[in-house]
């Protein structure tokens, strides 16, 4: 009979190198699922938020209902949001994506609209005076000027989504949240801590990446500050 | 639409309202958790934020703490707390997590509110011979109040959401109806629980909205 191994896994320690080396594939799969769910949700959110914000800007009367609707969506706690979508999507990844899309929609619409509204009227008139049509005005003048505010919203939406994916563990599609959920039920300390730290690391990395993209896309804001 | 009528039937069944696991008790738990933790968080965060804002120190920390709070998953913190010694005191992990997630918005909003007070007004108050504490209480605090209250509102909504997720880690509150529904594979119960939680969150938001409308003009936000 062999003696039980006396490593950090057997002792159930918080920090465990053994865990990292033996469960590398599980961790990698969870991280990939986490990134996939986040990226798909935020991209769909962006694709929906942009036209909504532009419409709300064009027709003033549409702004109030759009903002009120998205605020109400944002007030609903994540667990309840996922549960409300259960009859529509069942226990699928689609449910988590749909829930996250609704949250990022709120943050993105608000920020893009604020950015569009902050475009100075003189700038708009100057562009019109130069013969810009409404579409060209939007694409070449208004959207670029709204970019810093939109990117700020995108960063908040991305970081929030990365943190909220974990709640998707309730339907088995929570990326690293699945590992946390399983670790909670088995009191597996190393798994819970490793997955939690990875979540935060992913969030910070995504935030820094978007910050770098923003600096590349809006060189003029740097020049103005210097 | 069938699920909705099933969920309605589940809610209308009086057997689901009574007892330790009943809706009535869960609703009370949720309300007590939210109110008590909001009070505790305000007691911790507001004095610190107001004094820091008055002195103009620690700004980077006060502003960034909200961003950090957003990056840390609520669920992960709840489970981590559950596995530490705190986990042995019943609602301990829930209360600690709720306070941890309510403090950042309170701190950031109160600090920013204090710093946004017009510096000329502060200088005028000093010129009239007001002491530091007098400036803080009589001049800066009233002017910063809309931002401070906005922070309280954000914190309250955050508390309701966190208390719901606490059910995943064994905490009490309305979220328990949802998790129990998942365990029973009862979609009507899950949806009914979700409707209750969403309704609760919207009522909390509405209370603040009404309070803001009724408040005197100077205490209102300019949103």
Contact: B75, A187; criterion CB under 8 Å: no
Say whether residue B155 is in contact with chain A using an 8 A CB cutoff.
Answer: no
Give the other-Cβ count within 10 Å of A161's Cβ.
Answer: 27
B67 contacts on A by Cβ (under 8 Å)? 159, 207
pLDDT greater than 60 at residue B193: yes
Does residue A92 belong to the interface with chain B, where contact is any CB pair within 8 Å? Answer: no
CB A99 within 8 A of CB A173: no
Nearest chain B residue (CA) to A163: B73
Q: b/e for B99-134, b at 16 or more Cβ within 10 A?
A: bbbbbbbbbbbbbbbbbebeeeebeebeeeebeeee
* Residue B219 confidence (pLDDT): 61
Q: Is the pLDDT of residue B223 over 50?
A: no
For an interface test with B, the pick among A15, A67, A76 (most B C-beta atoms closer than 10 Å) comes out as: A76
Closest CA to B71 of A179, A39, A199: A199
pLDDT at A224: 61
Distance from C-alpha of B186 to C-alpha of B180, rounded to nearest angstrom: 8
Phi, psi of A196 (to 5 degrees): -65, -45
Give the integer Cα–Cα distance in Å for B4 and B188. 7
Give the closest of A75, A195, A200 to B71, CB-based: A200
Average pLDDT over residues B197-204: 92
Most confident of A66-70, A112-116, A219-223: A112-116
Binning chain B into helix, strand and coil, the percentages to the nearest 5 are 85, 0, 15
C-alpha distance from residue B77 to each of A159, A169, B80, B125 (Å): 16, 14, 5, 44
What separation in angstroms does the CA of B79 have from each of A85, A187, B120? 25, 9, 48
Instruction: Indicate the Cα dihedral angle A184, A185, A190, A195, nearest 10°.
Output: -50
Q: Over 90: is that where the pLDDT of B123 sits?
A: yes
Residue extents of the structural domains in chain A: 10-218
- As for the ipTM of the complex, it is 0.84
B positions 14-53 inside 8 Å of A (CB) = none
CB–CB contact B195 A72 (8 Å)? no
Is the pLDDT assigned to residue B221 strictly greater than 60? no
Q: Give the side-chain half-sphere CA count within 13 A for B197.
A: 36
Distance of alpha carbon A169 from the chain centroid? 17
pLDDT band at A4 (very low <50, low <70, confident <90, very high): low
CA B90 to chain centre: 21
- What average pLDDT does range B117-126 have in this prediction? 92
Determine the topology of domain A10-218 in CATH: MetI-like fold (1.10.3720)
Of chain B, the percentage scoring pLDDT greater than 70 comes to 96
> Could you give the CA distance from residue B205 to residue B213 in angstroms, rounded to a whole number?
13
Residues of A whose CB is below 8 A from B191: 83-84, 86-87
Query: From CA B111, how far away is CA B141, in angstroms rounded?
Result: 11
Alpha carbon distance A112, A198 (integer Å): 30
List of residues 6+ apart from A87 with CB closer than 8 A? B3, B4, B187, B191
CA distance B130 to B124: 9
What pLDDT shows up at residue B4? 79
Q: What sign results for the dihedral spanned by CA atoms B40, B44, B47, B50? A: negative
What is the predicted pLDDT for the residue at B131? 92
Q: How far apart are CA B104 and CA B48, in angstroms?
A: 12
Ordered structural domains, chain B, with CATH: 2-219 (1.10.3720.10)
Arithmetic mean of pLDDT, A182-198: 90
CB distance A156–B72 less than 8 Å? no
B197 touches chain A (CB under 8 A): yes
Q: Do A163 and B80 count as a contact with CB atoms less than 8 A apart?
A: no
Question: Binning pLDDT at 50, 70 and 90, where does residue A18 land?
Answer: confident
Average pLDDT over residues B131-152: 91
| A83-to-A35, A185, B80, B204 alpha-carbon distances in Å | 22, 21, 24, 20
The confidence score (pLDDT) of residue A138 equals 92
Question: Which residues, 6 or more positions from A105, have their beta carbon under 8 angstroms from its beta carbon?
Answer: A45, A48, A49, A52, A70, A73
- Contact list, B158 vs chain A (CB under 8 Å): none
Q: Give percent of chain B above pLDDT 90.
A: 47
The chain A residue lying nearest B4, using CA atoms, is A87
């Amino acid at each position: 009979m062999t003696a039980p191994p006396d490593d950090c896994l057997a002792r159930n320690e918080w920090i465990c190198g053994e865990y990292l080396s033996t469960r590398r594939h599980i961790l990698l799969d969870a991280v990939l699922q986490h990134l996939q769910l986040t990226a798909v949700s935020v991209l769909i959110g962006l694709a929906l938020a942009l036209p909504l914000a532009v419409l709300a800007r064009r027709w003033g009367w549409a702004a109030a209902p759009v903002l009120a609707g998205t605020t109400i969506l944002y007030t609903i706690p994540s667990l309840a949001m996922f549960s409300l979508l259960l009859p529509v999507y069942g226990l699928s990844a689609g449910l988590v994506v749909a829930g996250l899309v609704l949250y990022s929609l709120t943050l993105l619409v608000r920020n893009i609209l604020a950015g569009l509204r902050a475009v100075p009227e003189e700038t708009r008139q100057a562009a019109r005076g130069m013969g810009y049509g409404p579409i060209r005005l939007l694409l070449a003048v208004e959207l670029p000027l709204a970019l810093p505010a939109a990117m700020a919203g995108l960063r908040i939406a991305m970081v929030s989504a990365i943190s909220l994916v974990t709640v998707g563990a309730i339907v088995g599609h929570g990326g690293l949240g699945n590992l946390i959920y399983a670790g909670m039920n088995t009191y597996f300390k190393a798994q819970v801590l490793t997955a939690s730290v990875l979540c935060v690391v992913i969030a910070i990395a995504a935030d820094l990446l978007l910050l770098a993209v923003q600096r590349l896309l809006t060189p003029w804001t740097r020049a103005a500050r210097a | 639409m069938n699920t909705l009528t099933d969920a309605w039937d589940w809610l209308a069944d009086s057997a689901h309202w009574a007892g330790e696991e009943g809706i009535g008790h869960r609703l009370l738990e949720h309300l007590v958790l939210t109110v008590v933790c909001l009070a505790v968080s305000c007691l911790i965060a507001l004095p610190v934020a107001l004094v820091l804002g008055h002195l103009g120190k620690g700004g980077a920390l006060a502003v960034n703490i909200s961003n950090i709070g957003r990056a840390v998953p609520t669920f992960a913190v709840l489970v981590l707390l559950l596995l530490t010694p705190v986990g042995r005191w019943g609602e301990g992990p829930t209360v600690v997590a709720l306070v941890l997630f309510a403090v950042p918005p309170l701190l950031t909003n109160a600090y920013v509110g204090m710093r946004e007070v017009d510096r000329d007004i502060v200088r005028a108050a000093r010129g009239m011979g007001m002491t530091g504490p007098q400036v803080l209480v009589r001049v800066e605090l009233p002017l910063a109040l809309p931002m401070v209250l906005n922070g309280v509102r954000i914190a309250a909504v955050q508390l309701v959401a966190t208390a719901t997720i606490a059910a995943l880690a064994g905490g009490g509150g309305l979220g328990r109806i949802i998790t129990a529904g998942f365990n029973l594979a009862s979609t009507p119960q899950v949806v009914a629980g979700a409707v209750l939680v969403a309704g609760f969150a919207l009522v909390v938001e509405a209370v603040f909205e009404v309070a803001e409308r009724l408040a005197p003009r100077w205490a209102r936000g300019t949103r």
